Amino acid sequence: MSESIERAPSATQYPRYVDASQVRGKFETTIEEVIEAVSEVTVIARRDGLVALMTHLRDEPSLRFDYLSDIAGLDLGEFASPRFALSYHLYSLTHNHRLRIKVLLDEEDPRVPTMCPLWKSANWLEREIYDMFGVTFDGHPDLRRILMPVDYEGHPLRKDFPIKGY
Amino acid sequence: MGLETTVGDLLPEVITTRLDALVNWGRKSSIWPATFGLACCAIEMMAMTDARNDVARFGAEVFRASPRQADVMIVAGRVSIKMAPVLRRIYDQMPEPKWVISMGVCASAGGVFNNYAIVQGVDKVVPVDVFVPGCPPRPEGLIWAIMKLQEKIEREKVFKEEKVA
């Protein structure tokens, strides 16, 4: 067995989270808060200007988030306000770094602009969020249920959804 | 279907009862399963056909990929609500006579998947002849189910019973 295998330096390092302060000044109205914890960075963003922020994160050469690895949906509970949250997990294959963008949504108006034009992977991820939480994505090309049957009632991962369904 | 409608009408009744036994013997000796593996139970279902367990001893080793050629559907695993119409369709495509074995606790009653996505018992979708307990049942358990099904087939009336006045 060989003792050492040559690897590209980026592949041997754990992906690190990017310093979000550089975008903060540029998107003051969109970014509410930047949280750093356990060497991970979360940007709390508003829905307005989200597309512009995401476009910048993707296209800026020093950031280059070319891969939307996941979108997570959260229901913070029936009595929480805002009730829903979406968490976009961005990754840069070029720079091997990550960033998390979190958007909070009110129960009365759970809708966000779609990220499909920016990342193709957003299509199915957003369909899953729609299926499970009932969050609407404006401008999505094909917003149908993806996991549950088409005639299914309700959104199963909402906290007020009965465990066995309606 | 087939034999009972043609031969049955022509022959006297004494022979009819014997034909029952003959036809049932033929049917129980070659119950070909339709492949319907849905989860981990399917691994045990496959193991049932291997050299150690050898379900060929009971004439049920020929797994058919087409429901048209199958006699028994072994529902091996959890049935999701989305899968239920597919399961029913496969069942409807099987020619008579047909039987269903519900393998394992998930297919029989939902098991640990007591949630919004899983059908709580496959008998809500198709009529079940034998339920097999276990999570998953060992291959011996499934062979037991096939033997129980054979006993059931033996007792079946192939031809129409004459009404006793």
pLDDT value of residue B164: 57
Residues A120-145: b if buried by 16+ CB within 10 A, e if exposed: eebbebbbbbbbbbbbbbeebeebeb
Q: Does A159 touch chain B (CB under 8 A)?
A: no
- Residue from A131, A157, A164 to probe the interface with B (highest B Cβ count within 10 Å): A164
pLDDT computed for residue A116 by the predictor: 94
Query: Which A residues in the span 30-69 are in contact with B, Cβ-Cβ below 8 Å?
Result: none
Q: Mean of the pLDDT values across residues A147-153?
A: 90
Q: Give CA–CA dist B15/A48, Å, rounded.
A: 84
Using the 8-state DSSP alphabet, how is residue B118 labeled?
A: B
Given an 8 Å threshold on Cβ–Cβ distance, is B115 in contact with A152?
A: no
A161 chain-B contacts, CB cut-off 8 A: 116
The residue ranking higher by pLDDT, A5 or B95, is B95
Report the pLDDT value the prediction gives residue A157, as an integer from 0 to 100.
92
Q: Which of A14-23, A43-52, A148-157, B149-158 has the lowest mean pLDDT?
A: A14-23
Per-position DSSP letters for B25-94, written without gaps between them? HHHHTT-PEE--B-STHHHHHHHTTSTTT-GGGGT----BSSGGG-SEEEEESPPBTTTHHHHHHHHHHS
This prediction has a pTM of: 0.76
pLDDT tens digits, residue range A71-115? 999 999 888 889 999 999 999 998 888 999 999 999 899 999 999
- pLDDT-based confidence at residue A70 (cuts at 50, 70, 90): very high
Reply yes or no on whether the pLDDT at A145 is more than 50.
yes
Residues A149, B115: C-beta atoms closer than 8 Å: no
Contact B115 A163 (CB under 8 A): yes
Which one of A128, A131, A145, A148 would you mutate to disrupt binding with B, by most B Cβ within 10 Å of its Cβ?
A148
Token pair of B40 as six digits: 């981990």
pLDDT reported for residue B155: 87
pLDDT exceeds 50 at position B84: yes
Nearest to A67 by CA among A27, A37, A38, A96: A96
**Predicted complex: ipTM over 0.85:** no
The reply to whether residue B81 touches residue A149, judged by beta carbons under 8 angstroms, is yes
